[in-house]
Structure 1
Amino acid sequence: MEKQSVSTASTNTRRRNEFLNMIKSATCLNSSSSDTGKGRSKSSSNRVSYGFHLVEGKSGHDMEDYHVAEYRNKKNHELGLFAIFDGHLGDRVPSYLKDNLFNNILEEPNFWGDTETAIKNAYRSTDKFILENSTRLGPGGSTAVTAIVIDGKDLWVANIGDSRAVLYERGCANQLTVDHEPHSERRRIEKQGGFVTILPGDVARVNGQLAVARAFGDQSLKAHLSSEPDVRHVPIDSTIEFVILASDGLWKVMTNQEAVDCVKSIKDPQAAAKRLAMDALARKSKDDISCIVIRFGS
């Protein structure tokens, strides 16, 4: 009887929790299912505003996307720091990146003299730390797209994996990042002892598992993966209106031009980021969807 009583109480508790979760979900109070917000630079001469919106996907796992959208002052410079981290096999690696990658970049001794090298060094050292601490951070990994806006004048973008940065200027979309897909890096992967599979109805995968050729972490595949980022520098001028950073949950269902056309008339970057996420959902994207829109001169 005692076991039956405990079981009944446990069942009632579980049902009550499920009911409360349904209410939270229906009223958008479940913070794990979506996250949204906005902000702006404090500089009066180079105004930059940003907005973000993240939505948990319908692929059957918990949210694995993380973002950074914030401003810091360092050495009399105003730095806008923005990132999307798209995790796989759990959220520990992207969670670590959210808290540490920009710190590692800004602590590089040559950040102000050779920003590109500093970013590359920080990506590599961060990946090394993740691998050395895989017992704590787990076997999973994460893609990344990062953007640093310096004094509203210079944009530095870097990425590994298939999260993407797209610039809108002169009415056109300009992709700033490289999608690191396995088939495009097959020669390097095979030279390092791995292989690329392309099965009917599926995308190319490293060793039949991972759909990107570069990522943080992924200890079991690391011998065949790279953590070397592609880095781009863009001087910000009056022709550049905004930049979209987003995970592949958006780019799987929307072209670059479709994305910028979708939000070019929306001046509020938070509303723009939400519009992109909602449009991706309407197009039946099942992956986690994370968007940041950075507007210049607004």
Structure 2
Amino acid sequence: MLSQSDFWRNPEGAIKRAYKEMDDEILEDVAGSRGGSTAVTAILIDRKKLMVANVGDSRAILCGGDGVKQVTIDHEPNKEKQVIESRGGFVSKKPGNVPRVDGQLAMTRAFGDGKLKEHITSEPDVRIEIIEPNTVEFIILASDGLWKVMSNEEAFDEIREYDDAQEASQVLIKEALARGSRDDISCIVVAFGWS
């Protein structure tokens, strides 16, 4: 179990250990070998340093006066093909489908998925963004059920006029459903509220 002092000594290492511990917990459960999940997390330190971590295709975008900035990487098989192959796996693509690790998983990083764990990892990418007051209005953290049917810019456009973060996240979920999303949709909007 990580302590607060672990985090302050080495924030990036603490986040990576927390993701590893979560993966271990999921894998201990029987369901961990049959399925998996992606994740995105964000921590704002002293109202200026934003740490964002992700595994898989759950994504975070910063939105504000300067537009939209994606601060996570979608861990797609084509992007990390060499890493998968170096672990003894392969990336394949059937016509009309997306590339998949060992012909099964459309992600190279995920929690769970025990049957593929030799070839995939749960280690997150961790990014640090310095936030200037009043330049970033909010951050959207969402699963691929949103991003498969909406671009980063479209998501920002849908909610740029909303002041209430919870209402904004509900608007995005409803819009993803209206656009026919068939994947899981998890969405959190965090308003920075600088004033």
156, 174, 179: which one aligns with 2:51: 156
The answer for unaligned runs of 5 or more in structure 2 is none
**1:117 equivalenced with 2:13 (yes/no):** yes
* Cα distance between partner residues in 2 of 1:289 and 1:129: 23
Residue 275 of structure 1: CA displacement?
1.1
* Cα distance between partner residues in 2 of 1:218 and 1:143: 11
Residue 150 of structure 1: CA displacement?
3.1
| TM-score between the two structures when normalised by the length of structure 2 | 0.91
Equivalent residues in 2 for 1:14-163 (5 A)?
104=1, 107=3, 109-131=5-27, 133-135=28-30, 139-163=34-58
CA contact (8 A) 1:177 1:232 kept: yes
1:48-79: CA deviations, max 9, x gaps? xxxxxxxxxxxxxxxxxxxxxxxxxxxxxxxx
CA contact (8 A) 2:32 2:114 kept: no
Query: What residue number does 2:60 align with?
Result: 165
**1:288 equivalenced with 2:168 (yes/no):** no
| TM-score between the two structures when normalised by the length of structure 1 | 0.61
Q: Partner of 2:117: helix, strand, or coil?
A: helix
The residue type paired with residue 24 of structure 2 is: K
**1:260 equivalenced with 2:156 (yes/no):** yes
1:15-47: CA deviations, max 9, x gaps? xxxxxxxxxxxxxxxxxxxxxxxxxxxxxxxxx
The residue type paired with residue 294 of structure 1 is: V
* Cα distance between partner residues in 1 of 2:181 and 2:42: 25
The residue type paired with residue 14 of structure 2 is: A
**1:185 equivalenced with 2:80 (yes/no):** yes
Q: Which runs of 4+ in 1 moved over 6 A?
A: none
CA contact (8 A) 2:12 2:126 kept: yes
* Cα distance between partner residues in 2 of 1:239 and 1:183: 34
Query: What residue number does 1:202 align with?
Result: 97
Query: What residue number does 1:26 align with?
Result: none
CA contact (8 A) 2:32 2:113 kept: no
- Normalized per residue, which structure has more strand? 1
* Matched pairs, number: 193
The answer for unaligned runs of 5 or more in structure 1 is 1-103
**RMSD across aligned positions (CA):** 1.8
The residue type paired with residue 293 of structure 1 is: V
Q: Partner of 2:78: helix, strand, or coil?
A: helix
- Indicate how the Cα distance of structure 1 residues 183 and 234 shifts in structure 2: closer, same or farther if over 3 A, else same: same
- Indicate how the Cα distance of structure 1 residues 183 and 136 shifts in structure 2: closer, same or farther if over 3 A, else same: closer
CA contact (8 A) 1:249 1:280 kept: yes
- Indicate how the Cα distance of structure 1 residues 155 and 283 shifts in structure 2: closer, same or farther if over 3 A, else same: same
Which piece of structure 1 moves more, 137-146 or 210-219?
Answer: 137-146
* Cα distance between partner residues in 2 of 1:288 and 1:270: 18
Query: What residue number does 1:272 align with?
Result: 168
**1:224 equivalenced with 2:104 (yes/no):** no
Identity %: 55
Residue 233 of structure 1: CA displacement?
1.6
* Cα distance between partner residues in 2 of 1:271 and 1:136: 33
The residue type paired with residue 174 of structure 1 is: K
Query: What residue number does 1:240 align with?
Result: 136
Structure whose alpha-carbon radius of gyration is higher: 1
